[in-house]
Structure 1
Amino acid sequence: MLNRVILIGRLTKDPELRYTPSGVAVTQFTLAVDRPFTGQGGEREADFIPVVTWRQLAETCANYLRKGRLTAVEGRIQVRNYENNEGKRVYVTEVIADNVRFLESNRETSGGGGNREESSFSGGSNSNSGGGNRGNNNYSRNNNQDPFSDEGKPIDISDDDLPF
């Protein structure tokens, strides 16, 4: 059996970060994913898919994701149910994400140019991503450093390091 989903879409609003009574971080957001066809009026339609992240991944998403940002989500579909205040059974279908990729930088979503940026964050103990960038708290500090800030000094590279 297999329960795996990969989605690419844009956030409909900023993620909501909450904590369980035991202190575990959980973030919820909705991803708008375009359908691969147009409707009767020739307009594109979209599905609005609820996504949930847990622990460090939840905190990372809350810190870096914003409304409108293009994002890839990898995880599993979960269906849960509960009884509401009126005594009716309510079913909720959502994606439990264990890997989130930020497909563009904050500069691009705010209208500015800039370089394309892709960052991946994984979370949860059942993630099979091999560790990845799990819990990378230095994301913003390391990502803003200029790799060419060596003040014009020559770079020492041997011929063995060159791919050609």
Structure 2
Amino acid sequence: MNIVCLSGYISTHELKLQQTESGKTYLRFSIAISNGKNKEGKAYDPDFINCEAWEERALHISEYYSKGKGIEITGKIKQDKWEDENGNKRNRLKVLVDRIEFPKSNKNENGTGKATEPHSWEPGGADNDTIDDDDFPF
């Protein structure tokens, strides 16, 4: 089973929608995940997790999120494999986003500090869950 749940903060400077040659919309971004603190109370370095969202998910994230905004995602881990221009085999892990939520701790826009109601979003239809490797621009 390949399911991952992450809670962190958008760490990508600019959320920029992109399109494949076939016209499918996608968004690549990263989230910072806290690793807690040591015995002295000093925070461990966070992990930065690469994520990718497609179609409606990508549109939703680009519209409602920005750098520093809390996000909770559920998705699956995918490994990209390719050869670089020198013929070296390369790979990287990323999370393909299936579900998005605002964390309960996000503050509302008027600055009162009251937590907003959690907001989830899932696209309708099973066709959004299929990603064809031919849609990747690399």
TM-score (norm 2): 0.78
Q: Give, in angstroms, the shift of residue 113 of structure 1.
A: 2.6
Displacement, 1:106?
6.2
Q: Distance in 2 between matches of 1:39 and 1:5?
A: 28
Instruction: Show the counterpart of 1:95.
Output: 95
- Residue in 1 aligned with 2:109? 107
* Runs of at least 5 residues in structure 1 that lack an aligned partner in the other structure: 129-164
Q: Distance in 1 between matches of 2:98 and 2:69?
A: 18
Distance between the aligned counterparts of 2:22 and 2:39, measured in 1?
Answer: 46
The match for 1:34 is 34
Larger radius of gyration: 1
Q: Using a 3 Å threshold, how does the CA distance of structure 1 residues 105 and 55 change in structure 2: closer, same or farther?
A: farther
Residue in 1 aligned with 2:44? 44
1:1-164 correspondence to structure 2 within 5 Å: 2-13=1-12, 14-38=14-38, 42-103=42-103, 104=106, 107=109, 112-117=111-116, 118-123=118-123, 125=126
The CA deviation string for residues 115-134 of structure 1, in whole angstroms up to 9 with x for no partner, is 42221112372789xxxxxx
Moved over 4 A (4+): none
Unaligned runs of 5+ in 2: 130-138
Q: CA RMSD in A?
A: 2.6
Quick check: 2:81–2:90 contact (8 Å CA) kept in 1? yes
Letter paired with 1:11: I
Q: Give the 3-state SS of the residue equivalent to 1:107 in structure 2.
A: coil
The question of whether the paired residues in 2 share the 8 Å contact of 1:98 and 1:127 is answered with no
Q: Which has the higher contact order (CA 8 A, sep 6+)?
A: 2
Distance 1:66 1:39, change over 3 A: farther
1:65 shift after superposition:
0.8
The alignment of Structure 1 onto Structure 2 pairs a total of residues equal to 124
Query: Following the alignment from structure 1 to structure 2, what is the Cα–Cα distance between the partners of residues 39 and 89?
Result: 40
Per the normalisation by structure 1, the TM-score is: 0.66
> Residues 40 and 114 (structure 1 numbering): CA distance in 2 closer, same or farther, change over 3 Å?
closer
TM-aligned CA distance change 1:83 to 1:39, over 3 Å: farther
